[in-house]
Amino acid sequence: MRMHVPLDSLERWKEYLGNSAQWECSQELRLMAQLWWQSENLPAYVLAMAATQPRLQGLKKLFAFPEYRLPLPKGGVPSSSDLYVLACNQQRELVVMMLEATACNAMGPSVQEWLRLKGKPMTVEREDAPKTEDDSRTQFLSAQLGLVGQSIVHVKYQFLYRTALALLEAERVGARQAVVWFHCSEEGSLQEYRKFVALYGVEGEADTLCGPVEVRGVELFFAWVFLRDCQE
């Protein structure tokens, strides 16, 4: 059973981190946490960007969970999000939002690099068409994300992981919309983000919601946010 205790101060956020040093080391996480802590409903940048999408208009925050963890069906370490927000739109439909705050170089390795670190080299027919049959976790992610048959070898693993978490949670609570927000203070990973969302045939721009794309009955949106642009 999941039991959540309300935060009575922003400083207590760091108690939920797997590594408490992450709070001091990640300026991005602290900035994002402050933006959400001081907002009674949703931060202005979220409302402004959501207003451009008919299915996300009139968003209201229901609950927010820092450092939310959800076990993946294939086992292993649970996937986690810096912040999970359960909201509803003006049609009173549930909307799942997963938010990640990271430095430009902290999105982790690509799928190819990750598999090599795990000692599971990919079989490649040609450079841009990897085979991932030898890694059950990667197979699961591809299926979960509706990307079976897509070349994911050069995509940052964390983009896939966080998006899978949003879809799994939407399925768990019966939400028809899910939004994955990536927050950064530099431009370094914007190209990596664009490479990821291009798998769904959409163009990713900074400070703009893209999508939706439908994955297993869920309308999925993405956003890349420069923290410098959303200070309130």
Condensed to tens digits (0 to 9), the pLDDT of residues 125-156 reads 333 334 434 457 778 888 889 998 888 878 88
Q: How many structural domains are present in the chain? A: 1
Could you tell me if residue 61 is inside a domain?
yes
Residue 95 lies in a domain: yes
pLDDT(50) > 60: yes
| Residue 81 is assigned to a structural domain of this protein | yes
Residue, of 3 and 13, whose pLDDT is higher:
13
211 pLDDT band, cuts 50/70/90, is very high
CA distance 154 to 32: 28
- The answer to whether residue 170 is domain-embedded is yes
Share of the chain above pLDDT 90, in %: 46
| 32 domain-assigned | no
pLDDT of 195 over the 80 cut = yes
- Show the tokens assigned to 185: 């203070």
Q: Confidence band (pLDDT; 50, 70, 90) for 119?
A: low
**CB-CB contact of 182 with 90 (8 Å):** no
- Tokens 């939002």, located at residue: 97
**Residue 180 resides in a domain:** yes
Q: Helix, strand, or coil here: 178?
A: strand
Q: What 8-state DSSP symbol labels residue 198?
A: G
- Evaluate whether residue 193 is within a structural domain: yes
Mean pLDDT taken over the chain: 83
Q: Is position 92 within any domain?
A: yes
104 band by pLDDT with thresholds 50, 70 and 90: low
Domain span at residue 210 reads 42-108+157-229
Confidence of residue 106 (pLDDT cuts 50, 70, 90): low
